[in-house]
Amino acid sequence: MVADANKLSRASSAASSVLQWLEGLPSEPHAYLSTGALRHTKRKRKREQGLYQDSPPPQRKSRRLAAISGNAVMQRALRKVTSTEHKLHTTPARSTRGKKNLTQHNEHIDASQVTPRATQPPVVYGSLDGIADIPRRSTADLLSDPSSEASSSRCGDSTTFSKTGRSRSPTKSLGDTQFCNIPIHVVPWEANIIPQVVRPLVQELKLLSKGIHVVPLQVQDRMKAAGEEVELHELSKEQDGEGEAWPHSLSHEELWVRIHEVWQAAMECYAENAPEATWNAEVHSRLLRLALRGELKAKGVWYEDVTTASISDKSLLPYFKAIPLQSKLVDYAIILDPDSTLKDRIVARLSATQSSTKATSGINAAAAEWIRFRPVAVSIETKRESNHDDTAVLQLGMWTISHFLNLQRLLGDRKALEDLPVLPILSIAGHSWRLMLASIAAGQKLELIGYTVLGDTVSLVGIYKIIASLRSLGRWVNEVYRPWFEDSILADVEQLSQ
């Protein structure tokens, strides 16, 4: 009972307090304005009465950052803001009482008690204020100065600029080369237009591409177990297991295991849409090594990765109106790996060429140390796509033009471009390996005859065809190209060195 009486007494006291508060409130409706409206009304009245002092507009965040960093570009951009965006606003003067108290507090702090802080100078970004002082240069000056930031190269009516200082070729298709000094012409593969000097090679490659005697008898059961039926004409007639098309350092069983591994790698690259570098590492390099190892390697015929071997000598590049085009790169090359005697002759030739005309970086058009004294014989371009488009042919064509121009330079005035030999070149796209023939035809134009398919990595039989074809090309390099190179390029080395 006593507790209930206390609760009732407290409720009565609270009610009386509320009644007293309500009696003190105004009874007019307009007296009840919102707090924001009331502040706005008071501020407006004070502004009209001139009680506020004019002050500059508050700095934007971007302006404060520009002032701190010293970024003149940002400062100049902010100065261009129109006056309508800089209307002055009247704001009450801010109180400085808090700052004074803080200052008085800091005066009593001992400097020895303050943790030292590393000081960092403000970051000053690049400015464009002085760009107007840079003298303007004409396009001719930019073209004549190889160190300029923007250089151009032209073919036809197109011009492209590069910030790296290197000419960028505008040639995107074979048609663009028709306006250059050595155009590229692709001729369909027909038996009656094959040059006589390479017909024995072409006939042998044609038989191998049809699978004639490319699969050894010893692996016939292996092929059937792998799910491939071998035609009778594809089986080799040799019983001893050693044919001209195969590396002598491997038995047929070992070779079949390697070929099956390459086939699996090619299937994985195709299924996973692997990039070109993966195709090169997992498929193309392994096939070239399998084909050229053994007897051919012992005779000085090998392959090299020339993906990064660029052509730096502008005189070895095709041009348009005296402007050299950008060099094109290829992926591999079958080369002559010289012995000590042949290397000495190559060095003597380069020394004689340097003393009579100008310095020569190597025996090839491409300036690369690992092939400096190893002549390129067969050039190879690879693509990950399964179709052979103009890009691969353009790269092979531009590279081959530089190769021919370099051979002519080494020969001097003894032979014209049209007298240089016909060179086989390879274009690989995905699974497919194709052969083209390159020569300089009358009128100084590069003529590419192609294609003919050598083989593919879709099947085990197709890989046997590729290896047999590469072995045939390796023998051509050793038996045909090497004698021509020694008799023509290195013929009068002793006379020139005297």
Which tens digit of pLDDT belongs to each residue from 255-310? 999 999 999 999 999 999 999 999 999 999 999 999 999 999 999 999 999 999 98
- Alpha-carbon 225 to chain mean position: 43
Structure tokens at 26: 């105004």
pLDDT for residue 238: 61
Q: Can you tell me the distance from the alpha carbon of 274 to that of 418, in angstroms, rounded to the nearest whole number?
A: 40
In which residue ranges of the chain is pLDDT below 50?
34-39, 56, 58-59, 61-62, 65-66, 68-109, 111-170, 239-244, 357
- Residues 6 or more apart in contact with residue 268 via CB below 8 angstroms: 274, 282
pLDDT for residue 317: 85
pLDDT for residue 86: 46
Tell me which long-range contacts 211-215 makes (C-beta under 8 A, separation of at least 24): 211/461, 211/464, 211/465, 213/237, 213/243, 213/245, 214/245, 214/461, 214/464, 214/465, 214/468, 215/461, 215/464
pLDDT for residue 246: 56
pLDDT for residue 281: 95
Q: Nearest to residue 336, comparing CAs of 363, 301, 309, 299?
A: 301
Phi and psi at residue 384, to the nearest 5°: -80, -25
Q: Nearest to residue 310, comparing CAs of 167, 207, 439?
A: 167
Q: Are 302 and 335 contacting, i.e. CB atoms less than 8 angstroms apart? A: yes
pLDDT for residue 4: 67
